[in-house]
Structure 1
């Protein structure tokens, strides 16, 4: 779908993730960093800290990112691409500053950023770019490098395949435990965001590109394909949310997954598969909010419960990420793609560079695009 097998003109790939604590002493400092400037009460941070401490104070996200870097490295090696891949976190070690300093030492001048967020909204898209900008300013890299990100990839064939396969396997586990296959409900779970952020997400004046609409577009393809593979006429499903935070008076996307489970039980449902399609890999919002909290809710309601796997390092997903990077490199070289970029939804394909005003923190924000007038998916450091 694109010419060549080279990541030129990029000198390196920067995998950017959220980060997570690696031990009990890290938990509250990590949470305070995440909450900085967000008016989240200390009592809420202490409550969430207990979620981490129940797992030894270790979030699974860092080990999953190490595995993803290893899988991407193997996939690029298989294609004869030797561009280095480094990993940096927004909120914990290895921090973005550390990763970028390492690249500065290698003399990198143009860097391709691959966020571990599949969807477009402020916290899943623009904030990644802004955090890279901030790290570049702090380290004072002069003259500044150019950092350009891949397009969002919720609509990539590999992300679809990984999630379809995970849902099919989950349904089969429930069936083997005694559930009627054609009576299993599906909860498609993603991270809740404030309604103001939802209204500012996606592209300006295109409501069909908003955060929830992206998930719904994926669901319109994903659910029928899972049903087909299971030999079912249809699967009853809903898009639900988890992990809301922030001040209680601020409205966030609903329904919460636990509320939705209550609705299912009240409707006479027998079994439910929770599929975390809003998450690229396991982290605390998955292993606590779904594996502990939602499962306890389901058990209390008498619902058979199973949680589908995240995309993680599924081979098809890793291949799609490699395709995405090579596609972006071809565009950066000014080469014409020999076919339209891959997209499995009726929204896509997403733009290689986000349009000005995309993915605002809240509807109506006025933003000056950073990085010498570049678009929201492109970053550069401070002027030389």
Structure 2
């Protein structure tokens, strides 16, 4: 399996109970001077689901799916909540790991989706610990494309409309960061998925989960605004920018977007994320067995 003797799955993290929510959010925004009122607003999203983010269990499920495909041990660490990456790397050192591949649970370029994981790796690395090598972006990998296409097919079947408008969604970012490869990689991946479906109809790429001051421009249109403007007999939302159905998917799409579609009388189904689809699970082993990763440039994944 390449030159690695372990795999580290590195993710964002999420609260696992109501008492975790505010400490988790404080970790997320540390050093960014986010108003307390904004944290309390976002906290309500988590409390709507009992204070539990789905992301940690979905990472556990991914790890269990990946393990049988590898001949090296699999570890898991997070940026913002337990198990923290630094604690995991200390355990890896104790276990004698020398060189580990790092699979980030984010498929595309950009600051928070890629560059920040490089920063995480630098922060959690130990001088005499294992070498940590981040695997490359994988939004155009055939396994990712196949898995996403299958999820869309499932949603089309639920909706019962082959002619439904296909609307891909991803996390919005400030326009100041959009000069990265983030948007172009997402559009390329969406085009590959549409081709895999054999569809000739037009599709859309829209954005969700924007935050920050309203005077700061972010990528648009927002998914809710788009639903109000779309002229179609039905819509399938495909959250291509996310690899699991975590909080921003289940709140922004399964809660807010469902409410808007209901108000509009617009038939809508939400495609699943790639999750533990077998084709996506195989992506990890493929990347580990592939060529030595080339680190991203600041042009591809800028610092902020």
Deviation at 1:249, TM superposition (A): 1.9
In the superposition, relative to structure 1, how do residues 11 and 149 fare at CA in structure 2: closer, same or farther (>3 Å)? Answer: same
Cα-to-partner distance string for 1:39-84 (whole Å, 9 max, x where unaligned): 32211111111111111110000000001111110122xxxx2x11
Q: Please state if 1:193 is matched with 2:188.
A: no
Q: Distance in 2 between matches of 1:322 and 1:146?
A: 18
For the pair 1:239 / 2:219, whether they are aligned, the reply is no
Question: Structure 2 matches for 1:316-355, cutoff 5 A?
Answer: 316-328=279-291, 331=292, 352-355=294-297
Structure 2 CA distance for aligned equivalents of residues 281 and 292 of structure 1: 16
User: Within 1, Cα distance between the matches of 2:123 and 2:252?
Assistant: 31
Name the counterpart of 1:154.
139
Distance 1:25 1:92 in 2: 13
Deviations 1:155-213 (A, max 9, x none): 100100011011111111111xxxx432x1111000111111111x2xxxxxxxx2111
CA contact (8 A) 2:101 2:133 kept: yes
Q: Give the drift of 1:356.
A: 5.5
CA contact (8 A) 1:26 1:57 kept: yes
Taking the aligned partners of 1:103 and 1:43, their CA distance within structure 2 comes to 39
Aligned to 2:50: 56
CA distance in structure 1 between the partners assigned to 2:12 and 2:298 by the alignment: 24
Residues in 2 aligned to 1:296 and 1:221: alpha-carbon distance in whole angstroms: 30
CA-CA distance at 1:130 after TM superposition? 0.4
Which of 169, 193, 207 is residue 222 of structure 1 equivalent to? 193
For the Cα contact (< 8 Å) 1:39–1:247, is it kept in 2? no
Answer whether contact 1:19 1:90 (CA < 8 A) is retained.
yes
Aligned to 2:256: 293
Distance 2:211 2:282 in 1: 34
How far does the alpha carbon of each residue in 1:115-170 deviate from its partner, in whole angstroms, 9 at most, with x for none?
Answer: 0010011111110110121123xxxx333532111111001001000110111111
Residue of structure 1 in register with 2:2 after alignment? 7
C-alpha RMSD of matched pairs (Å): 1.5
Matched, 1:251 2:217: yes
Instruction: Considering Cα pairs closer than 8 Å and 6+ residues apart, tell me whether 1 or 2 has the greater RCO.
Output: 1
- Give the alignment's TM-score, normalised by structure 1: 0.76
Q: Per-residue displacement from partner, 1:216-275 (whole Å, max 9, x unpaired)? A: 11122211322x2xxx5x2332100111112222111111100000111xx3x2211100
Equivalent residue, structure 2, for 1:95: 84
Bigger Cα Rg? 1
Shift of 1:357: 4.8
Q: CA contact under 8 A between 2:175 and 2:217: conserved in structure 1?
A: yes
Post-superposition CA distance 1:70-105 (Å, at most 9, x none): 1110122xxxx2x11100000000000111110111
Please tell me whether residue 23 in structure 1 is matched to residue 17 in structure 2.
yes
Give the TM-score of the pair, scaled to structure 2.
Answer: 0.96
Q: Residue in 2 aligned with 1:133?
A: 122
Q: 4+ residue runs of structure 1 moved beyond 4 angstroms?
A: none
Q: Could you say which residue in structure 1 is the equivalent of 2:301?
A: 359
Map of 2:157 onto structure 1: 172
Which consecutive residues of structure 1, in runs of 5 or more, have no partner in the other structure?
1-5, 202-209, 332-350, 363-384
